[in-house]
Every structure is written in structure tokens, then in C-alpha cells.
Structure 1
Amino acid sequence: MNYKDYIVSDHRVLLGKPVIKGTRLSVEMILRKLGEGATTADLIAMYPHLDKESIQAVLQYS
């Protein structure tokens, strides 16, 4: 897996913070949620447009 397929940084979206492609969900926010104890299943339930691969890409990116 190449995280670049899932994570982009564009100055027009969240001031250039890395986000999951096609969303405004930042890598920072996903990592914070995981650090607070959220599981992959929790994140997918909270944000149905996420998938397991996107979350794995965030972890690989970090």
C-alpha cells in the first residue's frame, strides 16, 4: 500500500494539512481519535465514507 493513494495535501483544503483524499478529515484528527482509544471500527462507524485502507494509510503516513 502506498499512503499517497489515500492522503493528499492541498492548500485549498484545511490550509494544506494532510487529509484523506476526497474528505476534509485530517490525518491529525484521525491519529488523535486513535490515540484517544477509538478503534478502526469506531472510526468507520463515525465516518462511514472512511474505509480500513484509509486508516491504514494514515498510520503508514505517520
Structure 2
Amino acid sequence: MNQFERITIDPQVMTGKPCIRGMRATVGMIVEAVSSGRTENELLADFPYLEKEDVRQALAYAASLDQGREVLIAS
């Protein structure tokens, strides 16, 4: 099992940006929403296709990249 099984990168989806489970929801979209004050519950209400673990993995993925850690994602 990889560390971030909900994070996918596919050149055919959102021009290869890290996405949630192959959908058109990017890690950057989630990080930006949280940084502007949106709560996890607000995100889940606005984007019903997201799950709590999606939000948590997106934030953890971004933090890992910032710390320069190697990350394992779904292919």
C-alpha cells in the first residue's frame, strides 16, 4: 500500500496536477480552500464527491512535499 493512495497524477487529468482519486479535484484546490479559511465540513458540503480522508491526504501530501519528503502515490 502506498502512502497517499487517494492522490493520483495522470497527464490526462487536470494537466497532470496531483488530484484526488483521479477526479478533477486537485490537491492545490483543497489546500487553497483550507488556507482561505474553509473548514473540512464546508469542503465536504460543497464537494459531495470528496470524503474526509481525501481532504486529509491532500493536506498531508502538500505538507510532505513542502518538507522535501519522498511521497508515494497511486499511479
Aligned residues: 61
Sequence identity (%): 36
Alpha-carbon RMSD across the aligned residues, in angstroms, is: 1.3
- C-alpha offsets along residues 8-62 of structure 1, whole Å, 9 cap, x if unaligned? 0000001100000141001001100000000000000000011110101001101
User: 2:20 maps to what in 1?
Assistant: 20
**Greater relative contact order (CA < 8 Å, ≥ 6 in sequence):** 2
Checking the alignment, whether the CA contact within 8 Å between 2:9 and 2:22 is kept in structure 1 is no
Higher share of residues assigned helix? 1
SS at match of 2:34: helix
Structure ranking higher in strand proportion: 2
Aligned equivalents of 1:23 and 1:49: distance in 2?
Answer: 9
1:1-62 aligned within 5 A: 2-3=3-4, 5-62=5-62
Structure 1: state its 5+ residue gaps: none
TM-score (normalizing by structure 2): 0.76
Aligned equivalents of 1:39 and 1:2: distance in 2? 24
Gaps of 5+ in 2: 63-75
